[in-house]
Copies of this chain bind each other. A is one copy, B any other.
Amino acid sequence: MTRFDVKILGCGSAMPTTLHNPSSQLVNANEKLFMIDCGEGTQLQMRKFKTRISKLHSIFISHIHGDHILGLPGLISTLNILGRKMDLNIYAHKEIEPLLLSALDFFCPHLVFQVHFFPLNADAFEQIYENKSLRVCSFPLKHRIPTCGFLFEEKESLRHIKREMIDFYQIPIKQIKEIKSGADFVTPDGRVIPNEILTSPAKPPRRYAYCSDTAYCPDIIPYIEGVDALYHEATFAESEAIRAQQTFHSTARQAAKIAKAANVKKLILGHFSSRYTELDDLLREAQSVFPDTLLAYEGMDIVL
């Protein structure tokens, strides 16, 4: 099975603390690294957790608040010093493009690789990237400025053909791909062998969703329905529900309500306010609604 996991680099909020770094995480899909958000200090976190910076493929920025993007110039500068050859794709709201390009002109005037900027649309669900085994989509969250959630999903893989059936029916090699794709087999004497007898189902594609920053927003439920893991912001405890509403953030309980309604397999809470030095209350609050809840922490691995 190909690799598909997530490493949390930072799960704090606007004001970093000694406990939590600003937002960033790395999705490793088949040994390609896809970064989600890049707060200040992200490159240091990558070093700390010994992630392979050379595998970094693309960067997806949920929204252009500083705690989600200020690590970008330093990271790109370091990639440049390291002599990166591969292009780097950055997906973010279009408004940041001029400032980002100015910053790169200033701080990385002699870039040895190409940076491609792709504007995100925070108004609709859209596929924004795909390769042969992975698809990334963005969808609208509900924050003070245009903000995207991200859905990483494996593509459907082919059904598994049973070795003993190949031997028994003497299936020619050239027909195997069709059968893996769902075709029946017709024997030389005209008998139809149904596909279900020849194959076993592929593993269901794994899916990961990132939702930060956002107010409580049931509109996202269709996009994240049944994902293997949902990272959802929980900036506040329910006792700060009014503050959460005012600042377009969620409480831990609200994150759990979304997880429950979307019938996800696992919820990971993150984007914790700096006011919380310990997070047990947030965890209990969420678990009372959705038991399969975990707290994010810097260095956490979410294996899908």
Residues of A with Cβ closer than 8 Å to B? Answer: 14-18, 21-22, 40-41, 43-44, 47-48, 64-67, 70-71, 73-74, 77-78, 81-82, 96, 99, 102-103, 106-108
Residues from chain B with Cβ under 8 Å of A43 in the complex: 16, 40
Who on chain B is nearest to A70 by CB? B74
Who on chain B is nearest to A104 by CB? B66
Cross-chain pairs A/B with CB under 8 angstroms, 8 sampled: A14-B78, A18-B44, A40-B71, A64-B106, A66-B77, A99-B103, A102-B102, A103-B103
B16, B48, B73, B81: which contacts A47 (Cβ < 8 A)?
Answer: B16
Residues from chain B with Cβ under 8 Å of A40 in the complex: 40-41, 43-44, 70-71, 74
B14, B21, B74, B81: which contacts A77 (Cβ < 8 A)?
Answer: B14
Residues from chain B with Cβ under 8 Å of A22 in the complex: 74
Given contacts A40-B41, A47-B17, are A66 and B73 in contact (CB under 8 A)?
yes
Q: How far is the CB of A277 from chain B (nearest CB, A)?
A: 13
Who on chain B is nearest to A42 by CB? B40
Further contacts, 18 of them, CB under 8 A, given A21-B44, A67-B77: A14-B77, A14-B81, A16-B44, A16-B78, A17-B47, A18-B48, A40-B40, A40-B41, A40-B71, A66-B73, A66-B74, A66-B77, A66-B108, A67-B74, A96-B106, A99-B99, A99-B102, A102-B102
Q: Are A18 and B47 in contact (CB under 8 A)?
A: yes
Residues from chain B with Cβ under 8 Å of A73 in the complex: 66, 70
Q: How far is the CA of A71 from the CA of B48 in the complex (A)?
A: 19
Q: How far is the CA of A22 from the CA of B74 in the complex (A)?
A: 10
Q: How far is the CB of A44 from chain B (nearest CB, A)?
A: 5
Q: How far is the CA of A71 from the CA of B74 in the complex (A)?
A: 9
Please list the 4 inter-chain residue pairs (A to B) with the smallest Cβ-Cβ separation, ordered nearest first. Answer: A66-B107, A40-B74, A41-B41, A66-B77
Q: How far is the CA of A291 from the CA of B15 in the complex (A)?
A: 42
Q: How far is the CA of A106 from the CA of B64 in the complex (A)?
A: 8
Residues from chain B with Cβ under 8 Å of A18 in the complex: 44, 47-48
Who on chain B is nearest to A81 by CB? B15
Residues from chain B with Cβ under 8 Å of A65 in the complex: 107
Residues from chain B with Cβ under 8 Å of A77 in the complex: 14, 66-67
Who on chain B is nearest to A106 by CB? B99
Q: How far is the CB of A14 from chain B (nearest CB, A)?
A: 6
Residues from chain B with Cβ under 8 Å of A15 in the complex: 78, 81-82
Residues from chain B with Cβ under 8 Å of A44 in the complex: 16, 18, 21, 40-41
Q: Are B107 and A70 in contact (CB under 8 A)?
A: yes
Q: How far is the CB of A21 from chain B (nearest CB, A)?
A: 7
Q: How far is the CB of A244 from chain B (nearest CB, A)?
A: 16
Q: How far is the CB of A108 from chain B (nearest CB, A)?
A: 8
Residues from chain B with Cβ under 8 Å of A99 in the complex: 99, 102-103, 106
